Structure 1
Amino acid sequence: MTPRSPNPPAARELDHPAPGEIRLEGVLHALSDPVRLQIVRTMAATEEELACSVFEVPVSKSTTTHHFRVLRESGVIRQCYRGTAKVSALRRGDLDLLFPGLLESVLTAAARQADRTGG
């Protein structure tokens, strides 16, 4: 029998840009994709962290993983592990501080477009 380590393994950490590293062009790129915008709209509707499995997107699992990575690396979302689940939350506070009104404007425009086009 192998002795147990007194310290449990560290949780897997994911890389996120610090607020000062978030760039407008990266955020705009992340929000320019319809699938990523759909993910952000879902997150914006709640203050809660959401498991990746909650999102219903019309792409494969590997493509969904790519979209979440783009959102995380651009600074739009924060992700962490809660047990075995990866959860995500919108970095609304950071985005509002860096780019006042941008996120709300994009979300409002996306909602209007969805109403207009039925999507």
Structure 2
Amino acid sequence: MLYVGPRGEVVREVRERRRTSPALQHGDGVPCPHLLERHTLPDPSLQPCDTRYQWVSSAWGSCQASVGEGDVAVQCGGGVQTRQLTCVRASDHVPVLDHLCVHVEPPPRVQ
């Protein structure tokens, strides 16, 4: 079984051990340990999601006084620049769907 671990790594279950306890805890005895143990190891054939995809940005556009639907208040001589971001496969920079970069912090689109 494959799943994403606590640090974003892909892990696979590799070993499971069951134990049985023929006697129940009596009096001041210690509780039985867990009867089912699962150990997982990273799968070397899989890479963490955040290393397989990355954001690539275009060059900054020309300075504009407004962007999109909401006007940006700009003092005289000021403005904003925007750029496009594309999610790509890191190995060959082929564009992919944006949701594959969800684990990667995107660079700024506006400055």
TM bucket normalised to smaller = under 0.3
The structure with the largest helix share of the pair is 1
More RCO (CA 8 Å, sep 6+)? 1
Which protein shows a greater Rg?
2
